[in-house]
Structure 1
Amino acid sequence: MLRLVISRLASLAVTLLFVSLAIFLILEVLPGDPAAIMLGTSAREDTLAALRQELGLDRPALVRYVDWIGGLLQGDLGTSITYKMPVSTLVAERMSVTLPLSFLAILISTALALPLGVAAAARRDGPVDRAVLIFSQMGVAVPNFWIGLLFILFFSTRLGWFPAGGFPGWDAGIGPALQALLLPALALALPQAAVLTRVTRSATLEVIGADFVRTARAKGVNRRATLRRHVVPNALIPVTTILGLQLSFFFGGAILVENVFNLPGLGRLAYQALNQRDLVVIKDVVLIFSGFVIVVNFLVDIGYTILDPRLRSRA
């Protein structure tokens, strides 16, 4: 097991290195002047030259890349051209919204999908199964930002139960903060819950038809105990893989949802930086998103090994 973890960590480090190199090449090395992109083609030459010097664009590309990676390792993400403050400060402030939003969406999605998927499989072709299939089809068909708009119209504008947007900050208290995050989290969670429900149902049906389940039933184990002891633990193995992939969608999908609900999160920061052509912020935020995806895949790989005894024996 230790050898597997070390191998996966080495692969993770190499992947992060290649991703950072690709981001750097696309934003700073490929044809096009980053300074002209940030200031516009109508900017004066002396202004462009001053920005190139401020960003270090007059230095060799290899030196700039090494300095960027060295700064990242020390927690220095550079200084935003637009906000005139360290990017690390901006990211830390926005993470206090994006991370709770993503984790709340994960909890909602998992809490909905696992019971619904198992219940649908346990009562195949019954009313519960049909209702779950309708829910999953609707959830897959409707994008999260459209769900968010519908939530604002109904729960905020018409009923007035939740704020239509904005974030009061954690200083205002956990209650108001969670109230502001609940509708965005639901909008983010429902489409992924629909996908996870279908996967859970399929995985549960496959395990229900296995020989060891029929053997347990033949020995007199009741249906509920069979589901709890034998079916669900084995069905969780493929479900864990999909859930791990969905974590990346939760984090990335926050870009759209945060803009719909006007939340000051990392996704909105990326959107604003793109509009303002702040390549310093874009470069760091894209690497953070990419790094999150890579780390999540690493954790899912390790979790898959823990859940599946066959993989543990090989490790």
Structure 2
Amino acid sequence: MLRPVLTRLLGLVLTLLAISAAVFLVMSVLPGDPAAIMLGTSARPDTLAALRSELGLDRPLPLRYAAWLTGLLTGDLGRSVTYGVPVAKLVLAGAAVTLPLAAMAILISLLLGLPLGVAAAARRGSAVDAGVSLFAQLGIATPNFWIGLLLILVFAATLGWMPSGGFPGWQAGAAPALTALLMPSIALALPQAAVLARVTRTATLEVLGEDFVRTARAKGLSRRQALWRHAVPNALLPVITIIGLQFTFLVAGAVLVENVFGLPGLGRLAMQALAQRDVTVMQVVVLLFATLAIVVNVLVDLAYLALDPRLRNAA
């Protein structure tokens, strides 16, 4: 068990190193000069050259990458050329919004998608199954930012039950902060819950048709007991993969949803950095998104090893 874990951790390190090089290269070849954008078209050549030297833009690309990677490893993420503050401060402030938002969204999708998928599989061909299938089709086809706009229209503008946007900060208390994140998390969660419900239904139906489930029924277990003791636990393996992928989609979907609700998270920070050509911030945020995706996939892989004895024996 230790060897496959170490192998995956080594692969994680090498993958992150390759991703960091790719992110730095892509951001470095984007059109436009960050120094010229900061100073404007009327800047004097000597002033422009001084700023390029201060930002390290006059050095060769390999040396700039080595300095940037060294800063990442030592905790020095650089300084935002737009805001004039350390990038680490901006990223921490954005992560304090985006990560709880993604966690709430995946919790809602689990609480909604798993029971609906199991119920549809247990009542195949019934009205419940048809309703879950309709929910899955609508949820998959509907963009999360459009769901966010509908939630604002109904619960904020019409009923006045929820704030339409903004974030009071965690210093205002957990209740106001979670209330501000509730509608955005629902907007993110509904499409993912639809995917999860469909995958759970399919996986559960496949397991219900296996011989060991029929054997359990023949030994006297009721349909409900066979479903929850044997079918659902074995159907969770493919569902775990979807959950890992969903976290990646939730973080990526936060880029649009945070702008719809005016949340100061990583998605909004990435959009602002892109609009203002703040390469230092863009590099760190994109690398953070990629790191989250890779780490979650590695955790899902390790969860597979822990849950499936066949994989452990093969490893």
**What TM-score, normalized by structure 2, do the two folds share?**
0.97
- Structure 1 residues not aligned, in runs of 5+: none
Question: Partner of 1:113 in structure 2?
Answer: 113
Q: Quick check: 2:34–2:277 contact (8 Å CA) kept in 1?
A: no
Q: Distance in 2 between matches of 1:271 and 1:18?
A: 24
Match of 1:165, SS state, is coil
Question: Partner of 1:292 in structure 2?
Answer: 292
Q: Distance in 2 between matches of 1:79 and 1:103?
A: 28
Q: Quick check: 2:80–2:281 contact (8 Å CA) kept in 1?
A: yes
Q: Are residues 1:77 and 2:50 paired? A: no
Shift of 1:67: 1.0
Q: Quick check: 2:213–2:226 contact (8 Å CA) kept in 1?
A: yes
Q: Distance in 2 between matches of 1:44 and 1:114?
A: 62
Structure 2 counterparts to residues 1-315 of structure 1, below 5 A: 1-29=1-29, 33-36=33-36, 43-315=43-315
**Change over 3 Å in CA distance of 1:164–1:122 after alignment to 2:** same
**What TM-score, normalized by structure 1, do the two folds share?**
0.97
CA deviations 1:193-225 (Å, max 9, x no partner) are: 101110000000000000000000011111111
Q: Distance in 2 between matches of 1:182 and 1:86?
A: 30
**Change over 3 Å in CA distance of 1:78–1:215 after alignment to 2:** same
**Alignment length, in residue pairs?**
315
**Change over 3 Å in CA distance of 1:158–1:226 after alignment to 2:** same
Shift of 1:43: 4.7
Q: Quick check: 2:38–2:82 contact (8 Å CA) kept in 1?
A: no
CA deviations 1:288-308 (Å, max 9, x no partner) are: 011111111111111111121
CA deviations 1:247-292 (Å, max 9, x no partner) are: 1011111111100000011111001111111111001111101111
**Change over 3 Å in CA distance of 1:125–1:13 after alignment to 2:** same
What percentage of aligned pairs have identical amino acids? 67
Shift of 1:35: 3.3
CA deviations 1:8-44 (Å, max 9, x no partner) are: 1111111111111111111225776443455566654
Q: Superposition RMSD on alpha carbons, in Å?
A: 1.4
Q: Distance in 2 between matches of 1:237 and 1:43?
A: 59
**Change over 3 Å in CA distance of 1:258–1:31 after alignment to 2:** closer
- Structure 2 residues not aligned, in runs of 5+: none
Q: Distance in 1 between matches of 2:39 and 2:126?
A: 62
Match of 1:79, SS state, is coil
Q: Which amino acid aligns with 1:165?
A: G
Q: Distance in 1 between matches of 2:123 and 2:141?
A: 24
Q: Distance in 2 between matches of 1:30 and 1:225?
A: 59
Match of 1:146, SS state, is helix
Q: Distance in 2 between matches of 1:28 and 1:51?
A: 16
Match of 1:13, SS state, is helix
**Change over 3 Å in CA distance of 1:213–1:98 after alignment to 2:** same
**Change over 3 Å in CA distance of 1:260–1:32 after alignment to 2:** closer
**Change over 3 Å in CA distance of 1:87–1:219 after alignment to 2:** same
Q: Which amino acid aligns with 1:45?
A: P
Match of 1:162, SS state, is coil
Q: Distance in 2 between matches of 1:42 and 1:27?
A: 25
**Change over 3 Å in CA distance of 1:171–1:34 after alignment to 2:** closer
